[in-house]
Chain A
Amino acid sequence: MTHLFSVPPVSGRAIRVWHRNLVVFVRTWKVNFFPPFIDALLYLFAIGMGIGSYIKEVDGVPYINFIAPAILAISVMNSAFFECTYGSYVRMYYQKSFDAMIATPLSIEDVIAGELLWGATRSVMYVAIMLPVLFAFGVISLPLSLLALPLAFLGGLMFAGIGMCITAITPGIDSLNYPMFLFITPMMLFSGTFFPLTLLPVAFQYIAVALLPLTHVVAIMRMFTLPALSWTILLHLAWIAAVTILFCVMSINLMKKRLIV
């Protein structure tokens, strides 16, 4: 019997599922290329230049430079989470793609692992398109900001795992709205994104650090783009790694429970 925390037997075939999604993505690249591009510009203009003209500096950093890593971190979150909730749900439920795949040597574990890897890859792609835009505006520094790419993969995998857990237990596609506005939107605002965590009451600061995954992604991202490295990066990385493993494992087991009857 599979339990919630048993280690799933994933094989190298998972890469086939990842590849399938990549091929579809490339086929529709025009639709996929512009959102991150536009997104970066919108944030920069609206928040950076709009609000930024009132708030000149945060902790001695120009406001627009302060939020640039947050824009990246939020994109990491949104792309992986969206991909592994709505994207995976459509493939699972409406397209019956998973049913078709498990009739081949792929196992359900391989299929879900491939989907998770793909979710993380979407985050990397999003960040890869945004980085040059942010650099062109001079709000991030190179070369350390390039580390945003591996971070996008790790953070993406975390949000992919969380999203896939939700997909595995959601009764229908409409219910996916709830995590969107109960979890994703608050996180977007209260994770040290557009204002420093230290402005929050102390209790909320603890909650943000203990429970909000985005907090840790933003913190590391900011260390890379300002740049301002600190040893605390290790704590953030450890937090992300632990949560990533936990949710990815759970998501595979939950999906197996849902689909293999």
Chain B
Amino acid sequence: MTGIIEAHNLRKNYGSLVAVDGISFTVRKGEVFGFLGPNGAGKTTTMKMIACVSPRSSGVLRVFDQDPDVQPAEIKQRLGVVPQETNLDPDFTCFGNLATYAGYFSIPPHSAQKKADELLDFVQLLEKRDVEVEKLSGGMKRRLILARALVNGPDLLILDEPTIGLDPQARHLIWEKLKTLQAQGNTIVLTTHYLDEAARLCDRLVIMDHGKILVEGAPADLVKQHVGDEIVEVEKSAEVLACLAAHNIPHEVTGDTVQIATDSSREIAKILFNSCQPKKMLTRPATLEDVFLKLTGRTLRD
């Protein structure tokens, strides 16, 4: 069976800069598929190619088994897009934004208005219905953009950092809404820098860096495969370091702490207690963040 999105050796250059460097992936119907990666990894560029607003430089890309270069209007009719940069129409109210946007999909005015009210309710902005979008808070704008992405009843949602700048309540609200949409049969592709969010929402995800896909898989599998079950963190000291080296235990030093990834924290803890005189020590489950940092490094991207 072919997926909703098929990419093979997909590439995008901006002049001499290679933004997406030959990536291949398949997004299946009904799944939530995540793109993670440091700033500048090429996530937005990939989203834009899927959304048919930026043409690919080379490679194969098929969305709904159609080519974005050949049938962009047909594909876009079935897409809902939340861009990374908020681009609501400042000349309209919340309601006006949704109704006007529905018009772009050739939805007749009467159904457009009905849909607009339904969606305002869905993202809990009904009390802001007739407020100019300029007067919304950042998080409200983000919710309105999600509502806008739904006006055409899309089969595929492309969400570029949908929860950026949201408070925890709003974030949970969006998560809940996305789960509802998935249950209704939508396919969702999203990017995010919140790794807990990715772990919670995504059925499968890829981690990108420098335009390439580093790994692909289900969040839990990736954690298990690349880090292990648990992390033991010990305060850094000369004794601890010497002792870990003596016992041949692989570890990573980050600032003031030493991290030891392991499948059995008990054993590590025992060794540390018995022979290393650790000051502070804690054990926690390994997370997607550990995988992310392990694969993409700890240095800041410019």
Q: Which residues of B contact A103 (CB under 8 A)?
A: 51, 53, 76, 79, 81, 83
Cβ A100 vs Cβ B103 within 8 A: no
Interface residues of B toward A: which range? 20 to 34
With A13-B106, A19-B103: A105-B90 Cβ-Cβ less than 8 Å: no
Pair B105/A23 contact, Cβ less than 8 Å:
no
Which chain A residues have a beta carbon within 8 Å of chain B's beta carbons?
A: 11, 13, 16, 19-20, 23-24, 27, 95-97, 99-107, 260-261
Q: Is B254 an interface residue (CB 8 A)?
A: no
Decide: A16 near B91, CB < 8 A? Known: A96-B85, A261-B54: no
Complex-state Cα separation, A97 to B96, whole angstroms: 14
Q: Is the CB of A16 within 8 A of B87?
A: no
Question: Whole-angstrom distance between the alpha carbons of A57 and B298 in the complex?
Answer: 82
Could you say which residues of chain A place their CB within 8 Å of the CB of B85?
96, 99
The smallest C-beta distance from B75 to any residue of chain A, in angstroms, reads: 9
Closest A residue to B78 by CB, please name it: A105
How many Å lie between the Cα of A99 and that of B85 in the bound state?
A: 10
Is A100 a contact of B91 with CB atoms below 8 Å? no
Taking Cβ atoms with an 8 Å cutoff, the residues of B that contact A are 14, 51, 53-55, 72-74, 76-77, 79, 81, 83, 85, 87-92, 96, 100-101, 103-106, 152
Is B72 within 8 A of A100, CB to CB? no
Across the interface, name the chain A residue whose C-beta is closest to B85: A96
Minimum Cβ distance to chain A for residue B78 (Å) = 10
In the bound complex, residues from chain B placing their C-beta under 8 Å from that of A101 are 104
Cβ contact within 8 Å between A106 and B91 = no
**Contact A96:B87 (CB < 8 A) given known A103-B53, A260-B54:** yes
In whole Å, how far is B109's beta carbon from the nearest beta carbon of chain A?
A: 10
- A101–B92 Cα distance when bound, in Å, is 14
Q: Does the CB pair B92–A104 fall under 8 Å? A: no
Sample 16 A-B pairs with CB under 8 A, ordered by A number: A13-B106, A20-B100, A23-B100, A95-B90, A97-B87, A97-B89, A99-B53, A99-B85, A100-B89, A103-B51, A104-B152, A105-B74, A105-B76, A105-B104, A105-B105, A106-B104
Chain B residue numbers with a CB within 8 Å of A260 are 53-55
B contact residues around A102 at 8 Å (CB):
53
Q: Is the CB of A95 within 8 A of B87?
A: yes
Instruction: Find A100's partner among B14, B55, B79, B87 (CB 8 Å cutoff).
Output: B87
In the bound complex, CA of A97 to CA of B133 (Å): 13
Given A99-B53, A100-B89, A260-B54: A105 and B77 interface contact (C-beta under 8 Å): yes
B76 touches A104 (CB 8 A): yes
Question: Do A24 and B76 contact each other (CB < 8 Å), given the known contacts A96-B87, A102-B53, A105-B104?
Answer: no
